[in-house]
Structure 1
Amino acid sequence: MLRNLKFVTAILAIISGTVAQNAFEGAIGFGAVSTGGNGGTVVTVTNLEDSGAGSFRDAVSQSNRIINFAVAGYIVLKSPVSLSSHITINGQSAPSPGIGVMAGEISASGKNNIVIRNFRMRQGNLDKQTGKSAFNMGESSNIILDHCSVAYGQWDSIDAVKAVNITVSNSIIAFPIGQQFGAHIEGGPATLYGNLWVSAHNRQPLTKSNTQYINNIVYNYQAAYTTAETSGYFSHDILNNYFITGPSTTNPSNYYYQMNEKQSVYAHGNYADTKNDGVLAGALENKVGSAVVLDAAWDPTSVGLAKLTALEAYTAVLASAGASPRDEVDAFAVSTVKTLGKSGVIYTNQASTGLSNGGYGTL
């Protein structure tokens, strides 16, 4: 009987995201169950070539690896890079000014147990495969992105259809082009914590999953938290987020979009500033359309994660989200948000930002 009780307790812990933090110290949410490349071989990326010995593509081509970097700069992709299962990508190991990829998709499709930290993924229109996303984790499991920077996604910035146990935390998801979508999540459960979402048409995120959405900042949206009137029944903990309109916002009330009666929502401590006057002074906005209103969080860990108020989250996220040290693209994203409604564009081409290196910024 005791053995069975321990087994049930362990399963419940996995479901609720309360298991030990395997990904790294401080990892949170459902993706924290990922073991990444723990215990595997340390492999160092020694050049910025698209392929070959010492390249990033070669380093991620086999499982059970911890990927470090001895070089800094952009890796210009000639084709999508497919990650292997059971790997950890330590972008923070790169020398200043950091490491990233541009002009192609990073794919974890069909893989499991992947940890990516302090890494830049900038697809942009140099990628001629317009049906690709900046980061794709479709049909994957146990994935965590932390302090990453995702920009210029064509299909989606982040695609997570049929993805199980994922966390996107402390990251910047900015300036999607093409479809101009932030993130598409189906499957779950998913945790989205402490992220900065900048200038997207929609899907910040689109979530057809049981989801924790905590301490996010969304700026210059046309539609922010979206369920797309799905026929599925899902639960959503939406806590202490700040929605801020910008010049591209056509309907300020679309901070919650297409929330139907099949969705169960615990919304608490969320603010929206819809004045576009350069001053942050929002009002509480916790009405979630026709969704079923929950009296308590659907997941018992959500309230504990929501340590910051929406205002505190604004300060913290703008100070520390994204890959470190901040590069030209992320600095531009943050400075855009700080105008608090005065500036912001939903782009169709990264070059339109006016940043160096054709809009990709220089690493």
Structure 2
Amino acid sequence: MKTRLLIKYMMLIIASVAASAQERIERTPAFPGAEGWGRYVTGGRGGKVLHVTNLRDSGYGSLRWACEQTGPRIVVFDISGTIYLQSDLKITNGNLTLAGQTAPGDGICVADYPVTFACPNIIARYMRFRPGNRMAETEGDGFEPDGLGAVDSRLIIVDHCSISWSVDECCSIYGNRFTTVQWCIISQSLRYGGHSKNTHGYGAMMGGEGASYHHNLLVHHDSRCPRLGERPATGARDTTDFRCNVMYNWSGQGCYGAENMNANIVNNYYKPGPGTIASRAVGYQRRICGVGVNEQEGHEMYHVWARLFVDGNVNPRHPAVDADNWGLGIWQQISDTYRNNPAKYNLDEKRMRLSEPMKYYRVTTHSAADAYSRVLDHAGASLSRDSHDALMVSDVREGTATYTGSGAGNAKGIIDSPYDNRPADAPDNWNPWPVLNSTEAPLDTDRDGMPDAWELARGLDPADPADALLTDDEGYTMVEVYINSLVDHITEAQNEGGTADGDLEYLPDILPSYTVATSTRIPSTWNFGNDITLSNDAGKSYGTRGDYIRLARDVRHTLTLPSRAEIDRIRFEGFTYYSSDSYSDASLTEINGTAYPESTFAIAKNSDISTVPSSFEIKLDEPAADRITFTWQGNNPCVRITLLTSNQSTTAAIGTTVDYPTEGYGYDPAWYTIQGHRLSSEPSVPGLYIHHGRKIIIRK
């Protein structure tokens, strides 16, 4: 059993300019072309620049070393080639940007072991993740790597990555909050790759609370192409937008799942390949999604069916599906067991079928036919597409399956090992991992991630690393402007002819909640990550009870806050630890030095985890920016703590004109964002800025 903690920090973004909707300024996306629910991930923005200088597994200058550092960081590559890991790469420190497009030459591949994002706020672009199964003999039973995984996390965007040769799923990014997987090639999972279930060969797990999957290519998978949902961490909140993807040559279930999911399934291209046609009946070939339902009695999602908007999906082999997405592609894919007894299984087609799409964050949407063309042209690590991705795209275009593994029952195109791709004329030392040639990295004297020549052309100082953090009028730091410029031509070409659809443009900043074991006991300082710690003056330990954290009474607790946080309210919810006559109610008697009478905010001593917990919200006298202190007396409370800020604009009364000082206090000719980032030039887009020490609104 897991216990969900506790400290949640929520910041609602309110438009600084209280005028018409046309004057609102969108938050800075992760990068130009970032779309969907992960559009506003910040990654390493504003942090240090780290250089990967070698292809070793570990040590200074390695990819693992860069990922193990803390704080916001942007990782650039001074070398191309394949990094053969010697153990799993589990990334536990977030606020990270992996800029694979900076590798000079053919790019970067990570091989032999899986990569997992086990933390929030990650941007990964133009990387290759190809573990394979040759380490299975070394690792023994249980070596079942995904290609790339992230589960029960948040704020992740994966763009233009190539993921293949997994023993489990190639891409398992599901059960998270606010994520996007876009423009990726997910290929050739391994059927007899050494999985404990014997056969596997699964493509992808997709879903989450605010999850977008668009313009991806899934090719040559035995099943899960993809599997949508289900994950307890997101449950009924699972909201997934699945559009403009291309699926080719699935042989098993294809796309299925979606239990209790809320989803848009729009403008996808389902192309049966040789393995599909030879191994599956016509019904499976027509599948858009084989929807299931949770049958675990007592589960909160027991017999709760998906709610789906389905439209615009295409199957070139079975054009009848194009005209009847719902009937042939969804409804007839539901098991007869359910459809023949709808009352028993709570199956209601009218409730299940949505007439309008659910709201989703903006995605440039193409027709299914146009998406097919764009994805084949641009998906994957396509700045320098390697021979494997080229083979996959060729198979899709030609309707072929060039290689097949020797495992019993393998459909055409389904392999068991990367070595099944061996050409007939390959030399003895042939390696399935494509050769990625490296060229000389451009000169970067100050090691700020921007080449000297690029800086000089833009009036920056190649001897001053600080200018990497200067911000342009769109909110990108200069080093981001550089790394994004390397692939601007791809971003522009891939989106051509599409329509920027989507209802949502603004995303709350949500720092994570944390999960600890029910029996956890922590010493006097508890570090939750992201600069949040909980400590007390008396060195008392902390523990958990159910979903709540147990606090010591009669001592002052200090909760440190993330940088730039401004908390104006705090909410406590819980019950008391002791119920005997030796203890009284648990009373909150102080917050940040402000005293409260014992009865003002109290939790009754006879309250219990099985009852509805007491709850109260307190407005602070002054917003807290660094820390919050509080003291409980009379009993040990077991509480959840929620920190809130409305982040209200205080500039509603500011006019559109100001008097500029010409000297003295407040005189500064530079322009700044309202967050304090210095701009490299006068802003050209509407918004709220600081100039000459004054807040200025620039309108359209």
TM surpasses 0.5 = yes
Matched residue, 1:263: 306
Q: CA deviation at 1:163?
A: 1.7
Matched residue, 1:91: 100
Report how many residues are paired: 341
Q: CA deviation at 1:32?
A: 1.7
Deviations 1:232-286 (CA, angstroms, capped at 9, x unpaired): x2211111110000111113023322355701111111001237xxxx9984451
Distance 1:194 1:281, change over 3 A: farther
Q: CA deviation at 1:226?
A: 1.6
Counterpart selection for 2:57 from 47, 50, 64: 50
Moved more, 245-254 or 286-295: 286-295
Deviations 1:127-163 (CA, angstroms, capped at 9, x unpaired): 3252221111122110110000001111111123432
> 1:96-135 counterparts in 2 under 5 A?
96-109=105-118, 111-128=119-136, 130-135=143-148
Counterpart selection for 1:224 from 232, 250, 254: 254
For the 8 Å contact 1:272–1:285, the answer to whether it is kept is no
The one-letter code sitting in structure 2 at the alignment partner of 1:305 is: V
Q: CA deviation at 1:306?
A: 5.3
Counterpart selection for 1:213 from 219, 242, 262: 242
Moved more, 64-73 or 182-191: 182-191
Moved more, 124-133 or 237-246: 124-133
Q: CA deviation at 1:221?
A: 1.2
1:65 maps to 2:65: no
Secondary structure in 1 aligned to 2:325? coil
Counterpart selection for 1:188 from 209, 223, 233: 209
Matched residue, 1:345: 413
Distance 1:24 1:306, change over 3 A: closer
For the 8 Å contact 1:21–1:27, the answer to whether it is kept is no
Structure 1 distance, partners of 2:324, 2:163, is 27
Counterpart selection for 2:315 from 269, 272, 282: 272
The one-letter code sitting in structure 2 at the alignment partner of 1:191 is: S
1:359 maps to 2:392: no
Distance 1:38 1:146, change over 3 A: same
Structure 2: tracts of 5 or more residues without a match: 1-10, 16-24, 194-199, 230-237, 294-303, 335-348, 403-411, 437-700
**Sequence identity, in percent?**
30
Structure 2 distance, partners of 1:306, 1:77, is 36
For the 8 Å contact 1:322–1:330, the answer to whether it is kept is yes
Matched residue, 2:363: 305
Distance 1:271 1:285, change over 3 A: farther
Matched residue, 2:395: 336
Structure 2 distance, partners of 1:338, 1:151, is 19
Moved more, 317-326 or 28-37: 28-37
Matched residue, 2:35: 28
Structure 2 distance, partners of 1:259, 1:21, is 38
Distance 1:242 1:32, change over 3 A: same
For the 8 Å contact 2:263–2:307, the answer to whether it is kept is yes
> 1:70-81 counterparts in 2 under 5 A?
70-81=78-89
Q: CA deviation at 1:185?
A: 3.1
Secondary structure in 2 aligned to 1:192? strand
Q: CA deviation at 1:26?
A: 1.8
Secondary structure in 1 aligned to 2:169? coil
RMSD: 2.4
Secondary structure in 2 aligned to 1:88? strand
TM-score of the pair, normalised by structure 2: 0.46
Structure 1 distance, partners of 2:86, 2:360, is 44
Structure 1 distance, partners of 2:122, 2:13, is 26
Structure 1 distance, partners of 2:14, 2:37, is 16
Structure 1 distance, partners of 2:355, 2:384, is 41
Structure 1: tracts of 5 or more residues without a match: 1-5, 11-17
Distance 1:197 1:285, change over 3 A: farther
Structure 2 distance, partners of 1:55, 1:8, is 37
Structure 2 distance, partners of 1:207, 1:65, is 32
1:137 maps to 2:150: yes
Secondary structure in 1 aligned to 2:250? coil
Deviations 1:323-344 (CA, angstroms, capped at 9, x unpaired): 0210011001101101125655
